Each structure stands twice: as C-alpha cells, then as structure tokens.
Amino acid sequence: MERVVNGPIPADFMSNFDNRIKSFRFDVGKNELLVLDQLLLPHKIEYIPIKNTKDAFTVIRKMQVRGAPLIAIIGALSLLVELTELNFTRNDDLILFIEEKVKYLLSSRPTAINLQNALDTVLVASHVDGDASSKKNVLDSILKLLHDESEENRRLIWNGYQEILNIKNPSSKFVLMTICNTGSLATSSWGTALGVIFSLHQANHVEMVFVLETRPYNQVRCILTYFSLLCSMSVFL
C-alpha cells in the first residue's frame, strides 16, 4: 500500500505504544523471541519462548498466535532465531535448510497467504551466491519484513482514519462495527480495522464499537474484552 491520504503522515501519529498490547517481544541482540499466548486472554498474560521453527509451528497450529500478518511475522522470526545459531559451509546446504523450514512452517497453517508471501521473500533472499552473504541476506530480509509490516500497517491506519473523518458529523461521535479483528494481537503494530478504530478513539471520535464475531474458541470476544479495558474504549460484544 503506497498511497497516503492527506499525507505525509505526522511523525507522532500512533506513536504512543503505552496502551498497545504486545503480541510478541523480539530482541535481535539477544536473538530472543517470545509470543503472547492469546488463548489465555483476558485472564492471564503469559509469553511463550520461541527458540526455533518447531516452537513457531506449535503456537500457530494451536492458535496461540492468530491474525494473518502476525502469523507471518512469527513464522519468519522463528526462522531467524533458529538460523542465527547455525553456520553453513556450503550455500546449497543453507538453501536446503531454508526450503525445508519454509515447507514445514507453511504446513502449520496452509491457508495463511501472508505466511506464504513472507516465506517466499526469505526463499528468494537465500538464493544468493556466497555462503556468508546468503545467510546475512536471509536474516536481513526477515528484519525488513518486520519493519515493512509495521510501516504498511501504519499507512493503512492513517488512510482509514482520514477517510472516515471525511464523513464525520462534527457534532457527533462514531458508533462503529468490526468483524473478527484483534488489533495489535493480529499484527506487529496497531492492527488493521481495529487499528483504525483505535486511532479514532485516541482522537475522541468514538462512542461505541460493536464486535460481531467471536470465533475461534470465543477468542475474539475474550481478546477484545482485554483490549477495550486497556484502551478505556466502550465495546459491545
């Protein structure tokens, strides 16, 4: 998404992360990845260590991690964490390793198109001559995926925010509806539909939000309860 409505986006737009639920914690220096167990929300906050692609496969398959953009990021980051600890004497060995891990991760959620797209990018990065540069290219491509997903999400929120404000009656607030979206728990940033809603809420333009979907495992209802409490936002479930 390249188009920006009424751009450029102000530097401080959605820059306050105090109320954002952290769906994962990633420290590139420590090579450490933790993901929030979303099945436990809103009653318990617990992070699961992801030390390799097997761990990522498990949390994706069990739906402890959900949301297409977030699944893609966690899958890619799990590969980064595992790959960082390994060395390859031949470039062909690196490529074979990446191909096997990509196939394995894709089997965790075969319908996840974001995961497919992200891992395709990683595969392309692995096909570079030179052993050392190939591994670095793969790691850099994964870090770029994380950065780009966050920036794309920010542009989406800004565009939605601007378009909705164009139809706002100055004397009233919005009553909004969303279907199956859990904001920052579905992305690496603020979320898609709920991200737009939260940006409007921060600007005091929202009276009420109706949430129309609860699947899977009544998960959306539970997560949005937690989210609304954090954000002091009125939500009707």
Q: How much is the pLDDT for 40?
A: 87
> What rounded mean pLDDT belongs to the chain?
85
Cis geometry, peptide bond prior to residue 8 (ω within 30 degrees of 0): yes
- Is 49 in contact with 33 (CB distance < 8 Å)? yes
Indicate the pairing of strand 47-49 with strand 32-36: antiparallel
Q: Are residues 146 and 29 in the same domain?
A: yes
Chain centroid to CA 24: 9
The verdict on residue 71 lying in a domain is yes
Highest mean pLDDT among 21-25, 141-145, 189-193: 141-145
Instruction: Tokens 């600890």: give the residue.
Output: 85
Reduced to 3 states (helix: H, G, I; strand: E, B; else coil), residue 135 is helix
Q: How much is the pLDDT for 16?
A: 66
Q: What is the per-residue pLDDT across 74-101, written as a single tens digit (0 to 9) for each? A: 999 999 999 999 998 888 899 999 999 9
Out of 151, 173, 201, pick the residue that ends a domain: 151
Half-sphere exposure of 237 (CA within 13 A, CB side): 16
Out of 100, 118, 151, pick the residue that ends a domain: 151
Lowest-confidence range among 32-36, 132-136, 175-179? 132-136
3-state secondary structure 3-37: CCCCCCCCCCCCCCCCCCCCCEEEECCCCEEEEEC
- With 80 as the cut, is the pLDDT of residue 170 above it? no
Q: Are residues 45 and 127 in the same domain?
A: yes
- Cα dihedral 134, 135, 138, 141, rounded to 10, equals -90
**Residue 16 to residue 206: CA distance in whole angstroms:** 18
Measured CA angle at 71 (ends 136, 145), to 5 deg: 35
The total number of structural domains in the chain stands at 2
Q: 10 Å Cβ neighbour count for 135? A: 22
Q: How much is the pLDDT for 1?
A: 47
The domain that holds 91 is classified in CATH as 1.20.120.420
Q: Are residues 171 and 189 in the same domain?
A: yes
Out of 98, 122, 151, pick the residue that ends a domain: 151
Give the mean model confidence (pLDDT) for residues 50-60.
Answer: 98
The domain that holds 185 is classified in CATH as 3.40.50.10470
**Residue 122 to residue 114: CA distance in whole angstroms:** 13
Reduced to 3 states (helix: H, G, I; strand: E, B; else coil), residue 49 is strand
Q: Are residues 140 and 32 in the same domain?
A: yes
The verdict on residue 86 lying in a domain is yes
Q: How much is the pLDDT for 229?
A: 57
Q: How far is CA 95 from CA 31, 90, 104, 125, 223, in A?
A: 21, 9, 14, 10, 38
Q: Are residues 68 and 126 in the same domain?
A: yes
Q: Which residue range is the domain that position 39 belongs to? A: 24-151
Confidence of residue 235 (pLDDT cuts 50, 70, 90): low
